[in-house]
Amino acid sequence: MTSAADRIRAGAARARVQPVEQPQPGEEQEPVAAAPATRVQDDKPRKPAVRAVPVIAPRQKDIRKNVDLSPAQNDRLGDWQRAAARELGVARVTAQDVLVALVERLLADPDLSDQVKKDLHNTRF
């Protein structure tokens, strides 16, 4: 059995190609045949060459979204967060937690989605 280093060396040897010079305009050139590549292991059939297609890994890191609130909205949200934390018996409820829960509910509930669309339409048009 061959080692990984031997297989890599053999693959590199097969990949080496003699550079062929391009003829200059008006210059004749003899046909050049490339030297045949030697096989490392004649007893095993060669696998067809497959080009490696780069695979882009899926994004693992969360994507940050920013929101601008008026001072009054920020105060009311902070009051709601503190009240929710007391009701839930936790030290605090972050705006991040609230927004993630709201987005999940928005995406899962078609009625809420329609209400939000109507609100957006009424505030923009």
Mean pLDDT of 95-113: 96
Q: Given a cut of 80, is residue 97 above it in pLDDT?
A: yes
Closest CA to 47 of 17, 2, 7: 7
Comparing 12-16, 18-22, 56-60, 105-109, the range with the smallest average pLDDT is 18-22
CA 101 – CA 6 distance, rounded (Å): 56
Q: Which residues contact 7 (CB under 8 A, 6 or more apart)?
A: 40
What is the pTM assigned to this prediction?
0.51
